[in-house]
Amino acid sequence: MAVIPSTISNNCPGTEFSLGADTALNEITEICDRIRQSAQGTKRRVFIIETMGGYCGYLATLAGLGGGADAAYIYEEPFNVKDLQKDVNHMASKMIEGGVQRGLILRNEKANDNYSTDFVYRLFCEEGKKAFSARMNVLGHMQQGGSPTPFDRNLGTKQASKAAEWMIEKLCQSVRPDGTICADKPDSAVLLGIIKRSYCYTPVQELKEQTDFKHRIPHTQWWMKMRPLLRILAMHDSTYEEEGAFIEDLANLNKVD
């Protein structure tokens, strides 16, 4: 068995990128751009947008970076009403003192059971009404449509080819003297993923320890290191520790072997 991770949420252990996530990310970014452009010439306005992704905040985070969001609320980074209030005040300050006309807030669909998208929208409406108005939009399944990006098309072709090659190789290795096939070792059931620019075949049994089954996310997710950039770009007080290997990975995303 060779598993090709295919989900827009990018929440599969054993790989840094799953098939379809790049296409969904591009769709979300494009939709956010259209929504913000729709407010051209209007009064100061903040858009509260809910993205999909289950408990995984990959789409909200990366779309926030790509679309210039002022904040992105996700499950992996807990927040409370004080954090929301701080963001409201910061947004109001940028609107009044900084001359900013539009704001963008993203929230992953399962970021918090109590602080729902509607709650965040109402909070921004009430607490920021002297500085700006607010609008809410739940993207829903719109982000699952669209034509696949070149990255996803190439990734799908390469992974399908490598999975077929792996299958043939394992079948040849598993032939018994009597001609039957017996593949009963852990490395006969793998997930084909991308880790640090290389294709890796990770036994499914090993992935159990890396997985939070309740929330369907890996215990460790590389893109969490990018979270501080959101606050820096939104002019919050924050710091970002540059990691050479991580920056190199980002610069070589399109150079996967």
Q: Do 181 and 241 fall within a single domain?
A: no
Q: Do 96 and 202 fall within a single domain?
A: no
DSSP 166-196: HHHHHHHHTB-TTS-B---SGGGSEEEEEET
Q: Do 213 and 234 fall within a single domain?
A: no
Q: Do 121 and 230 fall within a single domain?
A: yes
3-state secondary structure of 104: strand
Supply the range of the domain harboring residue 202.
2-17+148-218
Residue 253 counted as domain residue:
no
Tokens representing residue 198 in the block: 């290389």
Q: Do 130 and 239 fall within a single domain?
A: yes
Distances (CA, A) of 30 to 19, 33, 183, 237: 19, 5, 46, 28
What is the distance, to the nearest Å, from the Cα of residue 134 to the centroid of all Cα atoms in its chain? 24
Between CA 103 and CA 228 the distance in angstroms is: 18
* Identity at 37, one-letter amino acid code: Q
**DSSP-derived secondary structure letter, 210:** G
Q: pLDDT tens, 106-151?
A: 999 999 999 999 999 999 999 988 899 999 999 887 777 778 999 9
Q: What is the percentage of the chain residues whose pLDDT exceeds 70?
A: 90
pLDDT of residue 240: 47
Q: Do 128 and 234 fall within a single domain?
A: yes
Q: pLDDT tens, 11-46?
A: 999 999 999 999 999 999 999 888 888 766 667 899
Tokens representing residue 71 in the block: 């904040």
Q: pLDDT tens, 184-200?
A: 899 999 999 999 889 99
Residue 208 counted as domain residue:
yes
User: Model-level pTM?
Assistant: 0.85
Whether 245 has a pLDDT exceeding 60, the answer reads: no
What is the distance, to the nearest Å, from the Cα of residue 47 to the centroid of all Cα atoms in its chain? 19
Whether 154 has a pLDDT exceeding 90, the answer reads: yes
Residue 251 counted as domain residue:
no
Residue 156 counted as domain residue:
yes
pLDDT of residue 146: 78
Q: Indicate the pLDDT class of residue 99, thresholds 50, 70 and 90.
A: confident
Whether 6 has a pLDDT exceeding 70, the answer reads: yes
Across the chain, where does the E strand assignment appear?
2-3, 45-51, 71-73, 102-108, 133-138, 190-195, 198-203, 211-212, 217-218
Residue 44 counted as domain residue:
yes
CATH for 98: 3.40.50.460
Q: pLDDT tens, 109-120?
A: 999 999 999 999
Residue 250 counted as domain residue:
no
DSSP 64-116: HHHHT-SEEE-TTS---HHHHHHHHHHHHHHHHTS---EEEEEEETTS-SSS-
pLDDT of residue 130: 86
Tokens representing residue 158 in the block: 């390469």
3-state secondary structure of 2: strand
If you search the block for the tokens 């089954």, which residue do you land on?
A: 213
Q: How many domains does the chain have?
A: 2
